[in-house]
Chain A
């Protein structure tokens, strides 16, 4: 990065603020030297290439035959399965109950084990294996959460496997709004709390959350999981990007995103949930950049700690999310307005803003997912080692259940030019791929929504500009110097 870059980076960062497009790694797990190597990489060339790749995808799709995007996102049926009786214990119930027991054990070790968050299994399991690892696997493979969530098995056991035993209906008007609020609260906890990794604190929060959701399920049935429990909603969304999926009794496979095309969002609250995912995920990391720290009056080389910036973090998180929603809404509004002007002689029906806002939101999902992967990759590479060590010595008693011997966690791969470059390019490739997939998905959804290729393409112009800009910002954020 040379002196000539600075004005450009400031402009980009300003654009990031204006569009609410913000992102990168969470707590500073990353070694200080990693960014030093990143700053020596030719990131300007990489960023330009990535942005061009997304822009080119848009041009190709606009010129390609109308059937191309649907063709790419068409699923193949692997096999069908007769509907299973839900009135008895299923394998998914058993695996879910095993997960419940595992969670109970983790909470117990969180309360009674080591106070060190990198030695206690609970924070390592929750933040590293589950929040990073499992979420990514779910988004690539398919809906494993159906088998591994810690509620459904016990809930069905408690309700004698009845299909619809709940007494109170969750009001329809609530939509997914409870899940939106839970997601926001979770992100506030993850980014602004001064000790989200503390085993004791996390045990209490996880335990109380599990209990509240379980009581919610007893009251409202599985609607609680589908509309309140933010992680089930999140994982359900991400599973729609996976290569494998199930629609009714058919098990299908297809290119990433096929399931999302078959199952677009239909409510404002579900659409907002997807946008909140991207907005909060983007802010997580932007809040570590020199630009953000400087703008809130913090010296990036002397970060005073989370407690000094709680208000700024919360306000920034909410503002970033609100701005992202606003920019998305503006793009949709402009696109719909432009497309509706193309209706001549009463041929074609006008599309309403609300309809398009909901329908196209799922196209944002691949960007959020790609950021999740890129954002946490280095943290995962380090903390998965701690998780392995903790699995071998869960109570920090010096045990070596896995026979690891003398085991030292290393961050050496963040301390070498070649490995840092490989990691950076992997992150950048994920971000670019996420945007390409978003463009593809948005194009296919627009074709379905507007009915004609011409109107679909015109409607996509503002969103396409947004996605190119977001690619730019995402890659810039990967390359930006960080100080917190």
Chain B
């Protein structure tokens, strides 16, 4: 199932013929709109009305740290798209509203986008509960709602035809895709340590099923109460014959967790695998994290520029203002949410492609836009998709893509393995295209 491809640019799994076909479609769009990418400056070129994109952003509330980087990425991609001639010759105008990382406010914000700000689409939400709160309103108001959430809620069929997630993969595919690598490279006997609520339960359920299908065994499932801030008492529950610890701790006590795990095991430890969600935006050189040297992390997008960095990643980093260590170019301590924020970049390029393919002119063409996106499938690794190639499932409204597994070496994350897209696929759970608009 897994291919041991290290270079993400080679890992698309997409044939050359398909790539050429996609490029040809792009060229056709350019020809029909009469715009030549790169030659138009935003302020001199556009006389047309802008495409108004409602940006539902976590400015305040628990998502604010992510929201800051989502905003920064969105600004960068909008500038790039506008510099390239916009969408159908029209510039993008971002109308940002803070959702407070709150589902009720999220729904209000979507309503404002549709009714007050006259936006063409809504875009950008990360936190699942805000997506859940907002998506029904988007469906009622018939405004396309492009989320960048990672949640499985879109593909699970719980939302509606107006809600799509084409720019970031979902947690179910991410977790399941880890099973082959772990069983083939790290060990067959796993102990899972996870927070005892929905987020941790998803990992527990998706991973244990996938891992057992690989012939592995879950020796122990250690659920940690969410309010816990010290973990020493849980570590004796780790069976002695554990070959791999799979951890997904989150929250303010995560550094304490790593420190105490290091103190518990000392120099002789099993293999350790975690999700970078635990340490997203945390400097890997932080005190206490030395213990993680030699351990593995899932990364949505490799935070550190790799030795064989692609031109796509390079251009994306430069545009967002992120250095080779994944930190802001203005402050090396300001580490970005690199594993997630690319989703904003890629989603807006999907929106652009969808609007151009559908000849989108205004809100009356919203259904055409959704149908155009639903008809998409392969998205090649490119400047538009710097994280890697994607395979979009129009029925489930969900993108699938490569997942990255990095090893901590000298306090940096070095890419060790790239999964194939096939590793991330699972059975469809819904067909949104059968739902009426």
Contacts and interface: CB of A to CB of B under 8 A. Distances in A.
B197 interface: yes
Nearest to A37: B255
Contact of A307 (B103, B112, B286): B103
Contacts of A483: 62, 251-252
A18 interface: no
Given A2-B230, A39-B255, A27 B281 contact: no
A211 B229 CA distance: 49
Nearest to B283: A415
Contacts of B343: none
B98 interface: yes
Nearest to A305: B102
Given A31-B281, A305-B102, A305-B105, A484 B62 contact: yes
Contact of B335 (A28, A304, A415): A415
Q: Is the interface of B mostly helix, strand, loop or mixed?
A: mixed
B41 interface: no
Contact of A194 (B65, B95, B96, B105): B105
Most chain B beta-carbon contacts within 10 A, residue among A35, A119, A484 = A35
A189 interface: no
Contacts of A409: 68
Interface stretch (A48-56, A222-230, A278-286, A294-302): A294-302
B251 A300 contact: yes
B253 A28 contact: no
Interface string B318-351: 0001000001111111110000000000000000
Interface in B250-265: 250-256, 259
Contact of B321 (A114, A116, A197, A408): A408
A167 interface: no
Interface in A413-431: 413, 415-417, 419
B98 A195 contact: yes
Interface in A302-317: 302-308
Given A40-B288, A305-B102, A32 B281 contact: yes
B253 A36 contact: yes
B322 to A, nearest CB: 10
B60 A28 contact: yes
Contacts of B108: 195
Interface string A104-138: 00000000001111110000000000000000000
A116 B282 contact: no
Q: Is the interface of A mostly helix, strand, loop or mixed?
A: loop
Contact of A412 (B59, B71, B233, B332): B332
B226 A299 contact: yes
Interface in A187-210: 194-195, 197-198
Interface residues of B, number: 60
A276 B97 CA distance: 33
Contacts of A305: 61, 100-105, 129-130, 133
Interface in A443-484: 481-484
A70 to B, nearest CB: 45
Contact of B197 (A29, A195, A197, A299): A299
Most chain A beta-carbon contacts within 10 A, residue among B64, B233, B330 = B64
A33 interface: yes
Contact of B226 (A198, A300, A419): A300
A117 B57 CA distance: 11
Contact of B281 (A35, A117, A195, A415): A415
A25 to B, nearest CB: 12
Interface string A353-369: 00000000000000000
Contact of B229 (A6, A412, A415, A419): A6
A32 B278 CA distance: 11
A91 interface: no
A79 to B, nearest CB: 45
A27 B102 CA distance: 12
B105 A195 contact: yes
B100 A481 contact: no
Interface residues of A, number: 55
B198 interface: yes
A407 B288 CA distance: 32
Interface string B96-140: 111011111100100010000100000000000110010000000
A446 B287 CA distance: 49
Contacts of B100: 194-195, 197, 305-306
B199 interface: yes
Interface string B216-233: 000000000011011011
Contacts of A28: 60-62, 64, 101
A300 B225 CA distance: 10
B227 A33 contact: no
B97 A115 contact: yes
Contacts of A294: 227
Most chain B beta-carbon contacts within 10 A, residue among A28, A32, A35, A482 = A32
A290 B227 contact: yes
A200 to B, nearest CB: 9
Interface in B415-434: none
Interface in B76-107: 95-98, 100-105
Contact of B334 (A40, A197, A301, A412): A412
A307 B199 CA distance: 21
B72 interface: yes
A303 B288 CA distance: 27
A119 B332 CA distance: 24
Nearest to B58: A28
B338 to A, nearest CB: 14
Contacts of B251: 32, 300-301, 481, 483
B195 interface: yes
Interface in B119-168: 129-130, 133
B333 A306 contact: no
Contacts of A407: 330
The 4 closest A-B pairs by CB, nearest first: A305-B102, A412-B333, A412-B334, A35-B252
29 contacts: A1-B229, A3-B232, A5-B229, A27-B60, A28-B60, A28-B64, A32-B252, A115-B98, A117-B98, A118-B59, A119-B96, A197-B100, A300-B227, A301-B250, A301-B251, A302-B129, A302-B197, A303-B61, A304-B102, A304-B103, A305-B61, A305-B102, A305-B130, A408-B72, A408-B328, A408-B329, A410-B331, A481-B251, A483-B252
Given A40-B259, A305-B129, 14 more contacts: A5-B230, A29-B60, A37-B286, A40-B255, A115-B117, A197-B59, A306-B105, A406-B321, A408-B328, A408-B330, A408-B334, A410-B328, A410-B334, A412-B331
